[in-house]
Structure 1
């Protein structure tokens, strides 16, 4: 220790080394380059094996995911909806030629969009690593109803995104818009053998040298299919969607929060919700009320609007068919504000010949019943629950739905009643053969109605929604044009079930009328053609799967003035994908 003249201590030091600025600069530059290279490697590894970003170009998954589109607000009811943009084969953006029909009120606005107004498709994140580890941990493998990215079987390079609906080792079939499967392990060996013969004939048709040979092979398949479908019926089971995926697949039929101005009584219009005069029901903008403390049962029915699978997004898009299909899987939801009385509110849903009623008594009793004319009182009680009594100032959020042959009742987000498979299941013989025929002229396949007695109440946020309806189209093209399956029933559809072998998956788009998915594929890329009969047209092999889409991180953004691109993120539309 040395002391300075002032007495302050300090440590003695060795003489400082001469600075080497050139060497230090080189080392700093090397460290920077190494950091950049490592960052690129980590980014590449992350993109290749963990998460990758994709852009949705088309509307085959609308409304779950949007491709390029315009956003339009209905001039009559104010409802906002998306209209798909079509670039066609040339890649040039085409404007819709038809008017823009509102999915809520059916009003048709003139086309008032320009090419500069088009919004980009959703940008999504896709989780890849679970598929890479699924051979070690099977629980991480693909699951039914996952929104999945995979390679297009047509070229092996283009990325497609659809919903995974069919799994290996099962027979897949769409019936009346719903998904049915039969597990291969439960089928008789003789039936599996016939399904394999049809697969072999399909492969031979792919290899056929001329049209007469193709026609002969098709005739053999046509002869076999009806018997196969008949023998499959006892083994087919409907596949119900998961809660989150079902929520994503609801589409609006009518939202009373956006009533049409032309339907308001004060303007001489007539609401789609109709009741008898002096019934106690009143329908106003955004509000439905019932004032009938002394009133006998009185019904408010939803009439005048078709319950169909048409999609406003598809205006101007090439769709499989302009002919809409009736949809019978429906949900009605609303918030009930009780205001007095000792009576009852009922929600009635009819699907074909089956009518279900959910009743909510003032004392808190909830019943789920089925209309049975042969039963005392004409009703068969399927389930009973108890809530708090209906009291002023204590609103209830109510949902009643009939979807995938299961009727359920939710109150305040909690499922309180639901049918079992023993109580309610599809009649496949009738669905595949006789179809539904109305008992009365003008009767629709599905109905929605509310009824009430001895109550005073208000209903807000009233909405009717429909489930996705998977169509059963025929494969497009022509025999003479080189498509051996032209005009055959689509793969996996009502007249053409498909047997998915080990490692084969089946995909459908949520926007069924405008989705080119497994039902319609007919071109096989070289990367799959080389596999011979080991590749089945209409399916996606396991090694062509990329990952599961899980988040929309950049929906079409807001645009600053005079800027064509959405530079400001629309945080409100960022969402998880189900």
Structure 2
């Protein structure tokens, strides 16, 4: 009844109905359910072609398939998939840990390694153990060395808490109890050191390098690692003179040259691995070096002119110049308590006006009333409106002062403000707040030495200036010895000038700039390493070699101090801003460069400290020169002891963000 025709149409269209045929009406023999009809087997060796196949009979009756009970035929099933062995989670964990450990060890051994800075010899480029202080008088933030509190006093061998500080901005001498919130003890900067770099190239001048301490590379199986700047290289003679660095390669030191007693002036060690020792640096700090001192004096008389075959000044690159800035005074942070006590004195000038003696930035000889300020007692915004040029000037009123009376750690009385009012301006010095802490064991004096009171002539002056019109002219001026250096800013152009000796040779180099009338611009002018620098809105204006100048020595008529400063310039007017036309000046900041100190105490300002760098060695110095133990004291760094270049501070981020590249 329901059989499927063998020649059914494959198109899927049902056939038209018609009369039944005899074949359709003929009965079919029943097939027992137990005997299903199976096709006949065809021998595998026989092939049936269409020609040999018997013709299909028209009367052939299709046989319907027999219904087969489901229980009589086994269903066809796929073979079971092979099962994976059970996972060993413990083994996988151990393998992961081993892989990570091996990877870290390989990275540490060959690529990079993390170090912690324990001391302050590189401050404030890199911090050791320190506390971040917010001055209770002026609000300025700065770090103070707290190594003895963390590691113990080197004399008593016990922790000595930090109890006092001196603000580098307002010079207030305070106690930790006055600081709110109370400062916490912070570990030193954590830095990453790139180890393979010096396998491919030599260190470059100014790079911060990590090395094994030559005198004792290991102590009780612990590596003694130091971090300093690479300053001198093999074959060079380095001179440190009045805070600056000089170099020459014109000197050799013959081994056979002897003194009047027949002793070699420039000896060599029996073991070449001892060349790093101070004796073989031929320094006048330890002995004498007539060759180097004679050449330096000749170079000094020639103003260290390049190409003369003598010493020349070492000039830093821009990144290091900016990294080496140290605060002198930030005018936005003025001590309110000092102002209050000073005004309470009620001092008057000859005209009966209030005598404002405490402000560091002041208006100079303004008889035309061209300048106005936001607050005469604490001026932070200066506005000039006059067709003639008038000046505001800086005076370094940096005498320390204190408010608290005697206590167990400081027996001195509070400062008499009436006596402080009589103070005279000082030359700008190399004072560093990081070094001016006071420990509990140091009960006689603040941590201060003669090495922290040396004149610095390399300065930075920056401010935000609004140029009211295209006719506005603003001049930044910095003094150094017998010279005053100026950067003249006008809309669209900046020009450099040198006033005093050497002015004609320097000329008046000029460059176009981005200053626009009616706009505010952040201006920065610097005199560092006998080179003038200018930045506008954070971008340097490149003057090339035209910004370099030859340093001039003071003559007898200049009445210079042995350190080299001249009172009329470096004390009375170390930094000034002049304006012609209408402009507003705010956010004044005065900074200084690093001052490299002499290893001789007291220092001799008439001659340099000279050091010869043996081939295959480096002379390395700390940025915190007054408190750094470096090549000046213990010798050179052999190339074999270099570990790599310090490239990145990766921690801490609090309480002060320190993360960033090392410049």
Partner of 1:130: 197
CA deviation profile, 1:114-157 (whole Å, cap 9, x unmatched): 999311111111111112x32xxx3xx21111111111122102
**2:204 paired with 1:143:** yes
Whose helix proportion is higher, 1 or 2?
1
Report the 3-state secondary structure (helix = DSSP H, G, I; strand = E; otherwise coil) of the residue aligned with 1:497.
Answer: strand
The one-character-per-residue Cα deviations of 1:233-292 (angstroms, maximum 9, x if unpaired) are: 652121111211221110111112223325669973531111135542344457332232
**Cα distance, 1:39 vs. partner?**
1.9
Q: 1:247 aligns with which of 322, 328, 331?
A: 322
SS in 2 for 1:349: strand
**2:489 counterpart residue number:** 360
Which structure: larger Rg? 2
- Corresponding residue to 1:64 among 120, 125, 138: 125
297-306 or 507-516, larger mean C-alpha shift: 297-306
Distance 2:270 2:553 in 1: 29
> Conserved in 1, the CA contact under 8 Å of 2:395 and 2:573?
no
- Does 2:464 match 1:335? yes
User: Is structure 2 residue 527 aligned with structure 1 residue 402?
Assistant: yes
- Equivalent of residue 238 in structure 1, options 313, 319, 344: 313
How many angstroms does 1:34 deviate by?
3.1
Aligned to 2:432: 311
- 1:106 is displaced (CA, Å) by 1.7
In the superposition, relative to structure 1, how do residues 113 and 202 fare at CA in structure 2: closer, same or farther (>3 Å)?
A: farther
TM-score normalised by L of structure 1: 0.75
- 3-state SS of the aligned residue for 1:155? coil
CA contact (8 A) 2:467 2:583 kept: yes
Equivalence map 1:182-193=2 (5 Å):
182-183=248-249, 186-187=250-251
Picking from 156, 167, 174, the partner of 1:102 is: 167
Match of residue 544, structure 1, among 625, 634, 641: 641
Give the length in aligned residue pairs: 498
Alpha-carbon shift at residue 426 of structure 1 (Å): 2.9
Does residue 514 (structure 1) correspond to residue 624 (structure 2)? The answer is no
Say if 1:202 and 1:349 are closer, same or farther in 2 by CA, change over 3 A: farther
Deviation at 1:19, TM superposition (A): 7.7
Question: What is the SS of the residue equivalent to 1:117?
Answer: coil
Match of 2:588 in 1: 462
CA distance in 2, matches of 1:190, 1:390: 61
- For structure 2, the residue ranges without an aligned partner over 5 or more in a row are 1-69, 219-223, 275-283, 301-308, 344-355, 398-425, 439-446
SS at match of 2:626: helix
Structure 1 contact 201–221 (Cα < 8 Å) conserved? no
Distance 1:75 1:438 in 2: 33
Change over 3 Å in CA distance of 1:67–1:150 after alignment to 2 = same
8 Å CA contact 2:532–2:547 kept in 1: the answer is: no
Matching of residue 73 in structure 1 with residue 201 in structure 2: no
1:293 to 357, 368, 386: 386
Q: TM-score, normalised by structure 2?
A: 0.66
- The 3-state SS of whatever aligns with 1:75 is coil
* Offset at residue 367 of structure 1 (A): 1.9
Contact 2:452 2:626 in 1 (8 A): no
Matched, 1:272 2:360: yes
Inter-CA distance 444–106: structure 2 relative to 1 (3 Å threshold): same
Q: Secondary structure at the match of 1:200?
A: coil
Q: Which residue of 1 aligns with 2:29?
A: none
User: What corresponds to 1:214 in structure 2?
Assistant: none
Root-mean-square deviation (Å): 4.0
- Alpha-carbon deviation of 1:461? 2.4
**Cα–Cα, structure 1 residues 262 and 156, in superposed 2: closer, same or farther, change >3 Å?**
same
In structure 2, what is the equivalent of residue 118 of structure 1?
A: 185
Distance 1:331-1:153 versus aligned 2 partners, 3 A rule: same
